[in-house]
Structure 1
Amino acid sequence: MMGRVIEERLLIVLILVIVSFDVEAQQKSILINCGSNSSMNVDGRRWIGDMVPNNNVTLNSSGVVASIDALSGNSIYEPLYRTARIFTDSLNYTIKGVHGNYIFRFHLCPFEIVDHNVNESSFGVVVNGMKLLSEFSVPGKISEKNVNLLNAGKNLSSFFLIKEYILDVNDDKLVIEFIPSRNSFGFINAIEIVPVVGKLFDGSVSKVGGENLNLTGRAMETMYRLNVGGPEIQSNQDPDLRRRWEVDSSYMITENAGEMIKSSSNITYASVNDTSVAPLLVYETARAMSNTEVLDKRFNMSWKFEVDPDFDYVVRLHFCELTYDKSNERVFRIYINNRTAADNLDVFVRAGGKNKAYHQDHYDPVSLKIDTLWVQLGPDTSAVAAGTDALLNGLEIFKLSRNGNLAYVEKFDLAGNSGSKSNSKLLWVGVGAGVASVAIIACIGVFVFCFCKRRRIESNDAKNNSQGWRPIFLYGGAAVNSSVGGKGSTGNQKLYGSVASTGAGKRFTLAEINAATNNFDESLVIGVGGFGKVYKGEVDDGVPAAIKRANPHSEQGLAEFETEIEMLSKLRHRHLVSLIGFCEEKSEMILVYEYMANGTLRSHLFGSDLPPLTWKQRLEACIGAARGLHYLHTGADRGIIHRDVKTTNILLDENFVAKMADFGLSKDGPAFEHTHVSTAVKGSFGYLDPEYFRRQQLTEKSDVYSFGVVLFEAICARAVINPTLPKDQINLAEWAMRWQRERSLEKIIDPNLIGNYCPESLSKFGEIAEKCLADDGKSRPTMGEVLWHLEYVLQLHEAWLNKDNSADNSFSSSQALSGPQDGSVEVAKEHPNQDEEVDLNAAI
């Protein structure tokens, strides 16, 4: 009897072993080295060549094999990227015995291929009927999301791209189909299929501000995976699922908003089911809000991501309390796309103690018009906590499939709306585009003919006239009717009516300008530049004005002159100098501005006999200029970059209200799909952003750098470049930064300020300027952040001035500006086009 029991137990154990072996066999990783007839060991795993016999991989077509001897870069997968399989027709990989939940990774590394231009590759990928990619071009994606830039060279072989997906395989076999776009081709270097150990996702996830979402049957694409506050985690450091975790700093709006903390002592998972969610390395580092006393209940840690519009996204946040060993020490809110996703969050309580790793998932749908996703963490003002802080260890973003599709291709219907349309509608779009193209070409031809004919008629006058300005309307600067300014019978241009107006303001006659400037009397000159001179005058019955007359004998400043017309015709703000009007007559090009009675900010700092500004006046001038720049950066769809921020372009009116001026070098900001504007370097020496100078990539942070120099100039009252000084003092920015880093800025300030400023306000002022001059543009604050901090500095100083009249002589950071608690910072009321994204751009 006893022997029979033993036999039965042994049989049960044997069955369990067999079942376990069978499950393990089904759950093995499948690693394919595409375009190779041999296998190799890479990252400690065996990758099988797709041409190796009996490899359990069936190809329906051999396609073309491409290879290269060596690649630049330092990827651990570099040996795999030396070969690729090229396909001009549909290519299928069929694999049997795959069943369950898997992570799919497609490795793509473009290199020079004979008879194939990788810049023209375009293809799609379908796995068991799930569309993952459509009309996908690898080189076109290099500068966008999920890309690893291995070095700054131009060789495409220095780039690689890994597209990652999570899918359930429920069929008897796995079919991976690569489909080239019409008249194009595609390529693949390696395919990685890794079984998901454990359970990555629960059945449902909570929606931001709404009901739960069922994840059953939804495939996912990994858009972002960040190790927050820590170093990059390579795939071989996550042995189970081979995930790569990026550094988070490049996605932060202001990196300094969160300081990095680290602890590796006794970290464990809060639940046994979480062991596959993320490696413990992710939970050993974190970001916590820095300088919480100053940022009290105002600013957040913010991350911004580019995503595909019109999809649903799961945002996974990883938490582990590394500092506090009791509850109610760190309570905060989570905002996703400026909406509250969670409040009253205490990691210690949720995880069940210190050094306990856990995660939260939130689902958020992204509309057709939005291609960004914001994640923000900030203090919960409704909670009574010991500290006003927030914490985050890791962050992942997954795109969810919709109707069997994860591919995003931007198309347009007949009404110009973005979306995926039927082939018949696309055909009509193509036909319509063709007809429109023919019509446009015909119109252009007629325009060129008329333009050339007009130029020939005017060329006789031009030969005898060295004043070579052309009418503004030819440059698209102001909305001027082309019939205006035609030649009269005498050969001279007709006078414009004084009541005519355009988007650039009132059109003045030259006679009116002559009267306003007493025939350009030299005694009325108040400024000189490359464009010519600026005169003080009176227009419209005694209204004072600054009249800028372009030098007609030189082409210098022509482009800047036209840019200024274009910019000022669409800008209106209390802290921007207003354009009253213009004059374009008899080869003259003249702009008329509001008159700024107190001249430039620089003239009140040094180099003149004007009385020095007080510390409060300097702060107010800097705040006014910051408001003007903040409006430029956020007041238009793409924003405007000034590109020439300096104290001579900050003007003061009769009440010492500061206004930004001179928009001749201004540029529209980058389009939504770009991070910068590639342009020739222009600006003023001493104020020029070194990153812009090196890369010729202009961003709003270039203005922030220049403004940081202005801040140091305001406090030190000296020229930004002074060759007469000792070598280490010639450059103001470098000299002042050395003293600021030593926290000894008070030793180099303007002697006129000594004893007349609040020491704490000076200290905070120096910190702002230091952050503006960060070497890396991404580490600099936005103008919205600079503006808020300057206002806080002013409040510190005013409290110091009024301390004798106040019952409470202290002024702490808790008395700083209070702001909206919805995850954003309030934008100035003058802002004409406030929307959700603009609000968020002002948050840290």
Structure 2
Amino acid sequence: MFDNRLFLGDSSKSSPGSFSGDRSISLKNQNPSSSSPNFYHSARVFRSLSSYKFNIKKNGTHMVRFHFSPFTAQGFALASANFRISVNGFWVLNDSHVRDTVVKEYIMKIDKGMLEIIFVPVGDPGFGFVNAIEVFSAPRDLIVDYGAKLVNKNGVQEYNNISSNVLETIYRINVGGPKLTPFNDTLWRTWLPDENYLVLKYAAKRAETTHVPNYQKGGATREIAPDNVYMTAQQMNRDNLTVGSRFNITWTFPLPVGSGSVSHLVRLHFCDFVSPVIGSLYFNVYINGHSAYRDLDLSSLTFHVPASPLYIDFVVDSDDLGVMQISVGPSELSTPMRINAILNGAEIMKMVNVQPNSGDKKKTRWVLVGSIVGGTTVLCLTMLVVLLALRCRKKKPKPRPAESVGWTPLRVYGGSSHSRMSEATAHTSPGPNGYLGLKIPFADVLVATNNFDKSLIVGSGGFGMVFKGVLKDNTKVAVKRGMPGSRQGLPEFQTEITVLSKIRHRHLVSLVGYCEEQSEMILVYEYMEKGPLKSHLYGSRFPPLSWKQRLEVCIGSARGLHYLHTGSAQGIIHRDIKSTNILLDENYVAKVADFGLSDLVHVSMKPIQQLTDKSDVYSFGVVLFEVLCARPAVDPLLTREQVNLAEWALQWQKKGMLDKIVDPNLVGQIKPNSLKKYGETAEKCLAEYGVDRPTMGDVLWNLEHALQLQEGVPQRERREDNNTDSLQPSTTGIVPGVPSGGIRTDAGDGNSGSEINTSQVFSQLMTNEGR
């Protein structure tokens, strides 16, 4: 037992993990220090590759700590050990000599129910060691994927997906306070005082309070940092200075030798208990000489609650400086009598450049050579294809039987009449500035989002944070607020609104309005109750979708994309198709999102469209396999051959064994012929060259066919056409048993209905089950 932690022997029956190492031995320190914890009195020595495996009860963020305290025993001088450590296939420690008592701490996301730690001896003397290992789950909000600011010479931009990195703790500082031991921290962390890192000690003045911080929902918690961190601070030392004197407080933190140019997560902690008047403190934050946050107003971020703690994450490149420099100083908004700046705590975490646990220099060299040769070959083949296309473009291609190649092509201008006529309407141009009718006052946005309450954040993207909100008319909306440094210019912003205001389709997320007051750039969309498709496939509390539901989601998404590509005079290429950009409403109707702001591309030339829309098709093919297998498109924690889902799934598809890798929740649900058609569709989407990929209309057609096969609907009629030899539906009696009367279908905007006869409008599917 150490403080309130219990350490178990790795060879005891009560050990939480399993250990394997044929040539490992246990050492005892014959002269231990009485002041050191007991687990430093022994060590495990590895003379060959050895591993620990721990079962993880709950996936998510975890902390992994290695304790090292070298001693000499039985002929082993542990300070001379040289070894590497990998965790779940990624190297976290390379060719290391540990000559002092140190703790190496890593924060990482674990999502496969198992943690494997491997020790690999290197060179001479060829052994490694460790005194103790800690593995425990961390709070879900310890590392979040949104809200961080990327700081560099180009300014400040939003940085997402921090949790995809392994974070190595370099510094954890209690600014203005004493050393905090693990006994004082719920996550058993050590916080060091900041005196040794202050550049000018007389520029700073300690501040402390005896009052417990006022923790607020959406702000920092005791798991983010203990009370004592937020109850002490350094502020500007204005004693003996004239009123209005301005200067910065600066800390310099040396980085480990050989760290090179790498990225670091810099987390700064704030709690304003020094201001005599709430809302009177404004100051700037600088990192490595770059402006990281100007005019920081802590009161506005804490809803004007005094002494309320919060933290801000920054991602910064070390730029080979060898140090991380953090400064706080007064803002130009500060009045002469209220000039001040504070800092309560700082953490610096190296974003480990993780590498797969395999390979050597020779293999890397051959990969490079292969890439060059392969790239040259691809270039030559591309040129050949273009030349052949130019020679043959006037020649009418010979039709070939569709079923002979296992693919059902769609007739020219594809897509169902239903999806083109009743589900989509490209609104006529609203005229100059006609979109102003969509303008929403900033005051209404503040009310809708409760002043951008952090607890209402539902996601983030390249444009900014996304908040759930409710407008005055009780309409639920998703409010996307642009972040400083990532916003487009006002003319481009208005252009995007003009384009988005024209687009209405049942399977595209609709723009409700926008706001551009007070230097804000805000877009308001319809709210999708069930969230992103990804959340229904893996890593979430939602129940698994049935095969039929998944097919319908894919069909809906394909309809939306098909309309983007072909439904207006200027085609629109999405360029970011993924399961997080396919959203589901309360009825599990799929709608494509994020097709407007950051990656909108208008196509005015047909040849360009033919090239670029095929990139959307490829991405959609990846989504199809993601839906089938219920796993991410890229998972670096898996074995090398499984990391890339598209490549891995294609191997099974080409072997005719796709059923071996389907989501276990779907086993027994999918009819073989439906799976066959679905697999062929995905395979075609993932063709290496764009010219070999189908259009989204073709994809839509074949997915509807897959659903027909799943539902046992008879084969569609073969319709002869002078221009094509495709399988087409008949306009009458497509499926036996369909009523001859009117059917209910959505009107142009997808929000209302009208009665129309089947002779006027038809879809590939005319059954409720297939819709």
TM-score bracket, normalised by the shorter chain, equals 0.3 to 0.5
Of structures 1 and 2, the larger Rg is shown by: 1
- TM-score in terms of structure 1 length: 0.40
- TM-score in terms of structure 2 length: 0.43
